[in-house]
Amino acid sequence: MKYLLPLLLASPALALAEGPAVPNFVAETGGIAHQFTGEWEFMVGGGVAVFDCSGDALPEIFLSGGTSPSALYRNKSGAALSFAKAEDSGLEMDMVSGAYPLDIDADGITDLAVLRVGESRLMRGLGDCKFEDASATWGFEARDLWNSAFAATWEKGADWPTLAFGSYIDRTEDLFPWGTCTENLLYRGKKGQFGAPLPLKPAFCPLSMLFTDWNRSGTPALRVSNDREYYKGGQEQMWHVAPGEPPRLYTPDEGWARLRIWGMGIASNDLNGDGFPEYVLTSMADTKLQTLAEPGPETKPRYADVALAKGATAHRPYTGDELKPSTGWHAQFADVNNDGFADLFIAKGNVSEMPDFAMKDPNNLLLQRPDGTFEEAGDRAGVASTLTGRGAALADLNGDGWLDLVVVNRNGPTEVWRNGGTAEKVNWVALVPLMEGQPNRNAANAWVELRAGDRVQRQEVLIGGGHASGMLVPVHFGLGAADKAEARVIWPDGTEGAWTPAEVNKVTVLAK
C-alpha cells in the first residue's frame, strides 16, 4: 500500500475526488423556536416563506404551523443569525400548511399567499411586517380544501396576477380516500379583483406547482407535480396558460410524455447552460432530474431523466445506518459554496411512520461539480439532519453573501443553519430585477443572467415550486474566483436588458 500512495496522490482521479468546496453550515436557530405540528392532514405541507417586510434588506421568516399557530420572525441578524418573533403581525393563524411571498398589488410591500387546510388567504402587506387579510377585498374566492400547492405569474397584458392553487385529498373520506383528489383552481383578475376561479381539470393531488417558461417562448406554462399515491388515471401535468384563454393541458401530440411519480416538490435551474431550465422533481425512493430531450427553438416538452447519470437520485440515506429508501420534499437549486455552479438541496423526512422508508432520513446537499454531476455533501456541510423535513428555504439571512438554510420539520423543531462559507476565496453577486410602477413589480418569470468570462449562469424568477415554500429575495449567483461579471435581465415581455457590469459581493437592483 505504501508504494501506491504517491501514485494515487498524483492521479487525476484524486484531484476529481477532492470535489467542490464544502460550505460549513452552523446550526444557529437565532431564537427561532417553532414547530409545524399535526397528524394526517399535515403529513404534507410545512412550508416557509422568506422575504423582507421590514425594509432593512434582511429577509424575515414566516413559518407554517399546522395545528400550531403560524409565526413571523423578524430578522435581527448581524454576523450571527438572530430573529425575534412578531407577536402581532396579522400572520398568526392556524391550519397553515405553506406560504409564498409576492407583491399582488404592486405597491412595493410584499404580500403573502397563505396555504391552509381549509380556506387559504391572501395577506396584504401593510408595511413594517404588518399584514391584513385582503382575500375578500381582492375578491379572492377561497374554498375549503386541503391546499397543497401554489404558483403565481403575471400574464402578458394583465394588471393583476394569475394565481394557481392546488389541493390534495378529500379529507372527509376515511375509508376510500384514494382517487378523491380535490380541485385545482386558477385565479385570474384585473383592476384589483380576482374573478371566479377556473378549474384546472383533471386534478391529481399536486404537492407542487410552478409557472415556468420551460421553452423560452415568453409565455410561462404551469407545471404541476402530482402525488400518485392518491390519483387515479393521473400523471404529471403541464398546462398552457395563455392570456385570455382557458388553461389547456399539454398533450402527447405536443410531446408531453406520461410520468407518474410521488411528486412532492419542484425546482428548476439551467444547469447545462443551454438556455432551457432543467427540473428536479422530488419523490419517494427516487428523484427525477429532467433535461429537455431535444432542446431548441421548436422543442417539445419531452424530458430525459438524467438523475442517475448526474448522481442526483438522492434515493436513500447516505449517512447513518438506515438503508431504506428516502422521502424527498422541498427541492431548491442554489449555489451554497459560491463556486459558480448551482447546487441542489432536498429536504428529507418520512411521511409518517412508513416502515419501508427511512425514519432517519438525512437532508441532501448535492454540490454540483463543473462537469454537471453532483456530489453529496450534506453530512460534511452539517445539514444532514434526520428530523422529518418538509419545506425549506436557502437564502442569505445575514447579508454576508453565503446562503443560509431554514428547514421546517413535521412535529419537530424548525432548524436554521448559518452558512459559514468555505475556505475558498470566492465572490458572489445578488441581483434584484425590478419593474417599478408595473403590475409584475418583481419581474416574475424574468430571466436573470450573469456572465463571467465565457460562462453564463441564468435563473428564472419564480413564484411557486419547492414544497409549500417560497422566497422573494435577490437572485443569488456564486462567481467562484472571478472578480468581475456582467448581468442582464430578459424581462417577462421578452425585452432583453443590456449587459451591465455587476457589482461583486453586493446586492444590485436591475430596474426596467
294 makes contact with another protein (CB under 8 A): no
Return the H-helix or E-strand segment holding 18. Answer: helix 12-18
Size of the site for another protein (CB under 8 A): 37
CB 249, CB 238: distance < 8 Å: yes
494 is an interface residue for another protein by CB under 8 A = no
Under the criterion CB under 8 A, does residue 33 sit at the interface with another protein?
Answer: no
Q: Which is nearer to another protein, 314 or 367 (CB)?
A: 314
Cβ atoms of 344 and 306 within 8 Å: the answer is: no
Among 238, 285, 473, 485, binds another protein (CB under 8 A): 285
> Which is nearer to another protein, 58 or 346 (by Cβ)?
346
Task: Locate the DSSP E strands across 336-490.
Answer: 343-348, 364-368, 374-376, 389-395, 404-409, 415-419, 427-434, 447-452, 455-460, 463-464, 470-472, 475-480, 485-490
Closest distance of CB 352 from another protein, Å: 4
C-alpha 154: how far from chain center: 18
182 binds another protein (CB under 8 A): no
CB 133 within 8 A of CB 90: yes
Please give the angle made by the CA atoms of 252, 258 and 263, to the nearest 5 degrees. 140
Does 40 engage in binding with another protein (CB under 8 A)? yes
CB contact set of 7 (below 8 Å; sequence gap of 6+):
none
129 interacts with another protein by CB under 8 A: no
**Pick from 179, 320, 420, 439: which binds another protein (CB under 8 A)?**
179
Q: How far is the CB of 360 from another protein (least distance, A)?
A: 16
- Binding of residue 174 to another protein (CB under 8 A): yes
If the CB atoms of residues 341 and 357 are measured against another protein, the closer one turns out to be 357
Site string for another protein, 351-380 (x = CB under 8 A): xxxxxxx-----------------------
Nearest distance, CB of residue 285 and another protein, angstroms:
6
> For residues 461 and 471, is the Cβ–Cβ distance under 8 A?
no
Strand blocks (E) in 36-103: 48-51, 60-63, 71-75, 83-86, 96-102
CB closer to another protein, 410 vs 458: 410
Ranges within 307-346 binding another protein (CB under 8 A): 307-309, 313, 315-316, 323-325
Determine, following the binding rule CB under 8 A, whether residue 225 of this chain makes contact with another protein: no
User: Based on the number of CB atoms within 10 Å of its own CB, is 340 exposed (0-12), middle (13-18) or buried (19 or more)?
Assistant: buried
Instruction: Name which position in 260, 296, 496, 511 contacts another protein (CB under 8 A).
Output: 260
Contact between residue 261 and residue 242 where contact means Cβ atoms under 8 Å apart: no
Nearer to another protein by Cβ, of 82 and 147: the residue is: 147
252 forms part of the interface with another protein (CB under 8 A): no
Distance CA 6, CA 72 (A): 55
Residues that bind another protein (CB under 8 A): 39-40, 43, 169, 174-179, 228-230, 232-233, 260, 284-286, 305-309, 313, 315-316, 323-325, 351-357
